[in-house]
A and B are shown apart, each in its own frame.
Chain A
Amino acid sequence: DSGVTQTPKHLITATGQRVTLRCSPRSGDLSVYWYQQSLDQGLQFLIQYYNGEERAKGNILERFSAQQFPDLHSELNLSSLELGDSALYFCASSSMTAGNTIYFGEGSWLTVV
């Protein structure tokens, strides 16, 4: 158990809909990362937050948004969903101190039908 909690674990929704994925980082970790992994694809970095502020942005679509709340949990909002958005979405967290190991949650499987 990495200590990073993601919900829901599985989600099936229709095209055009909006979903919210939630992530609770490890206790004490200030930094949260979101990644997308499509079928048989590598891990695409979406966005990083540190202590509530956006720190780095990757290949995140305009239809997607994220935020990190004062209690450090984070949410990834996916809207106007398309079939191609079906993927495994990972959240990860780190403390950003020396020895900056990043720990991943188990992921949220999103299927858009």
Chain B
Amino acid sequence: GIQVEQSPPDLILQEGANSTLRCNFSDSVNNLQWFHQNPWGQLINLFYIPSGTKQNGRLSATTVATERYSLLYISSSQTTDSGVYFCAAYNNDMRFGAGTRLTVKP
């Protein structure tokens, strides 16, 4: 099956800083999503982005399907951005990476 690797595993930022999270996947996929799991356990859709670039406020994502990676950019981070960010790359069954745990300090 498809292997999904995320980096870095942990990231600590000061409020206001920018960050880039990376997701590598082992095979061609038709679908890729980024999620944020908040401290209460909820999984929030951020982007559905099998290719190209999308932006939503302070967050943006880019997927280069031919090179099998995706990047999630967080700008001007806020404490509410803390949590775990998951990438999922899939054709049929969705396989998740291990996540990046982000801590934003005030």
Q: Are A56 and B33 in contact (CB under 8 A)?
A: no
Which one, A35, A42, A56, contacts B97 given CB within 8 A?
A42
A58 to chain B, nearest CB (A): 6
Q: Are B93 and A56 in contact (CB under 8 A)?
A: yes
B66 interface contact, C-beta 8 A: no
Interface readout for B46-57 with A: 1 if CB under 8 Å, 0 if not?
001000000000
A104 surroundings in chain B (CB, below 8 A): 35, 42-43, 45
B98 surroundings in chain A (CB, below 8 A): 42
Q: A99-B48, A101-B33, A102-B33 are in contact. Are A88 and B41 (CB under 8 A)?
A: yes
Within 8 A of B (CB), among A1-53: 2, 33, 35, 37, 42-43, 45, 48
A85 surroundings in chain B (CB, below 8 A): none
The tally of residues in A whose CB lies under 8 Å from a CB in B reads 23
Q: Are A103 and B45 in contact (CB under 8 A)?
A: yes
B30 surroundings in chain A (CB, below 8 A): 100
The tally of residues in B whose CB lies under 8 Å from a CB in A reads 19
Q: A42-B99, A101-B48, A106-B42 are in contact. Are A48 and B92 (CB under 8 A)?
A: yes
A99 and B47 CA atoms in complex are apart in Å by: 11
Q: Are B96 and A58 in contact (CB under 8 A)?
A: no
A92 and B42 CA atoms in complex are apart in Å by: 12
A112 and B97 CA atoms in complex are apart in Å by: 26
Within 8 A of B (CB), among A60-113: 88, 90, 92, 99-104, 106-107, 109
Question: Across the two chains, which residue of chain A brings its CB closest to B40?
Answer: A106
A55 surroundings in chain B (CB, below 8 A): 92-93
- A-B residue pairs in contact (CB < 8 Å), sample of 16: A2-B45, A37-B41, A42-B98, A45-B93, A48-B92, A55-B93, A56-B92, A58-B93, A99-B48, A100-B31, A100-B48, A101-B48, A102-B31, A103-B45, A107-B42, A107-B43
